[in-house]
Amino acid sequence: MTKIIPKISNLSFDLRYISDMAMKTPDCLRSDLGELNYPVPEVIRQKLKELADQQIFSYAPTFGDPDLLRAIRQFEEEKIKHFGSPAILVTSGGQAALFAALNSLLMPGDAILTDAIYYPPYANLARIAEAELINTSLETLDNARLSENIKVLLLNAPNNPTGKVYDQTTLVQLARLAREKDWIIIEDAVYSEIYFGEKPVSITAYCPERTLVINSASKNFCMPGMRIGWITGDESLISAIAKLHRNMNSCPNTLFQKVLAGFMPESTEYFSGLRIEMQKRRDAVMQLMDELHWYYQKPAGGIYLMCRVPGLTDTLGYAEKLIKDHGISLMPGLFFGKSEDQLRICFGALTMEEIAQFGKRLKYSLV
C-alpha cells in the first residue's frame, strides 16, 4: 500500500452522498439532485439520431462548435449587448466553467465572496483553488468589513437552493463595489430561463466590463447528462480560462454541441412551457408546506424550495431517515452554508402526480 497522501483529501461529496443513497433505494420519490423531470423536445432526440448516423465523433474546436457559438450569441443577446464584443468558451457543463474560471483567475490566499446560502460545490471549488469562501448576505454587505483578499464575487440567480433573484438596488450596489474594489464578477446563471414573474436582471446591465456569465444546457434545457455549458466575457480572461479548460477536457462533447446548436434558436416556445410547468410544481409544493406549517421563502425562479421544519436541528439525519423509512428524498440544509436548519426540495425533479404522492408520504412520516 502506498504512503502517498492524495492532495485532494479535504473535499466532501456533499449532495452526492444523499443522491447516491436515494438512487439505491427502490421506489424512492427523488427531489434531491437538481435534475428536471421534464421531457426533452422531440426535435432534439431526432437531431441526435441524425447526427449519430453522420458519424460526428471528432474533437470540437477549442472554443466550441462554430454553430453553437453563433446560437449562444443569439441566446445571450441581451447580455451580449451590454458586453459589446465578448468572447465565448463552450465548456463541459457549468461546473467545468466554474472550475476553470476560479482556478485560472485566483491565486492561493485570494477570497471568493458569495451569498450566505450557496450551491455546495462552491465550497469545494474554493478549497481546490486554495481560496477562502466568504458567504454572507449580499443585500446587506458591510463595505468596511470586506476582506482585501476578495477577488471574485460569485453571484447565482435564480439561486440554488433559495430560488432568490437580486433586486436592482442590490445589483447596482454590488456593481459599484466591484469597480471600487477591483473584483471580477462571475454570474452563475444556469437557471436563467426558469423564473416566475419578471425576467431577472443580469448584473451585466450595470458592470459588463468585469463580469463573466456562466450558463449551461443542464437546467434551462433539462439535459444535465449532455455536459454542455459556456462562459462569456472579456476576451483576455476567457482566453486564460480556455487554456485551463483545454487541459481538463480535450473538448466538450462534439455531438451534443451540434444538437444544442440546432435547437437553441427555436427554444422560445419551449421555455414558455417549461416556466408554466415549473410554476405549477412550485405552487403545489408551497401548498404542501402551508398544510404542514413549514416555513419557506417563495422562490422567484429556479427549481428548488428551501423550508424550515419547526424544531428540527439534525437535517442530515432527517434526510437519511426519510429515504430509508419513507422512500422520499430531499437535501439537508447543512450542505448549503447558513441554512443548517433547513431542507431543500427540488420541485423540478417531481411531476405533479409525484408531488401529490411525495406529500402523502411526507405527511405519513409525521404521524
Ligand X SMILES: Cc1ncc(COP(=O)(O)O)c(C=O)c1O
Query: Helices 42-53 and 254-263 sit at what angle, rounded to 10 degrees?
Result: 140
H helices within 37-150, ranges in order? 42-53, 66-75, 77-83, 93-105, 121-128
Nearer to ligand X, 86 or 224 (CB): 224
162 grid coordinates: 433559495
Per the listing, cell 419551449 goes with 270
CB of 228 to ligand X, least distance (A): 8
Phi, psi of 185 (to 5 degrees): -105, 130
Q: Closer to ligand X at the Cβ: 177 or 217?
A: 217
CB of 224 to ligand X, least distance (A): 5
Q: How many other C-beta atoms can be found within 10 angstroms of the C-beta atom of residue 169?
A: 9
Smallest separation, CB 152 to ligand X (Å): 14
Kindly state the smallest distance separating residue 119's Cβ from ligand X, in Å.
4
CB of 253 to ligand X, least distance (A): 13
Separation between Cα atoms, residue 339 and residue 350, nearest integer Å: 23
Can you tell me the distance from the alpha carbon of 25 to that of 277, in angstroms, rounded to the nearest whole number?
Answer: 27
CA distance 106 to 89: 19
- Each as own residue / partner, the long-range contacts of residues 316-323 (CB below 8 Å, 24 or more positions apart, any chain) are 318/343, 319/18, 319/343, 320/18, 320/21, 321/365, 322/362, 322/365, 323/18, 323/21, 323/22, 323/25, 323/28
| Minimum CB distance to ligand X smaller for 114 or for 327 | 114
Q: Which CB, 203 or 359, lies closer to ligand X?
A: 203
Distance CA 284, CA 80 (A): 36
Residue 99 or 296 having the CB closest to ligand X: 99
In the complex, the residues that contact ligand X under the rule CB under 6 A are 34, 93-95, 119, 156, 160, 188, 190, 216, 218, 224, 229
CB of 313 to ligand X, least distance (A): 25
Tell me whether residue 110 or residue 188 sits nearer to ligand X (CB atom): 188
In the complex with ligand X, which residue's Cβ is closer, 95 or 253?
Answer: 95
Identify the three-state secondary structure at position 210: helix
Minimum CB–partner distance for residue 221 and ligand X (Å): 10
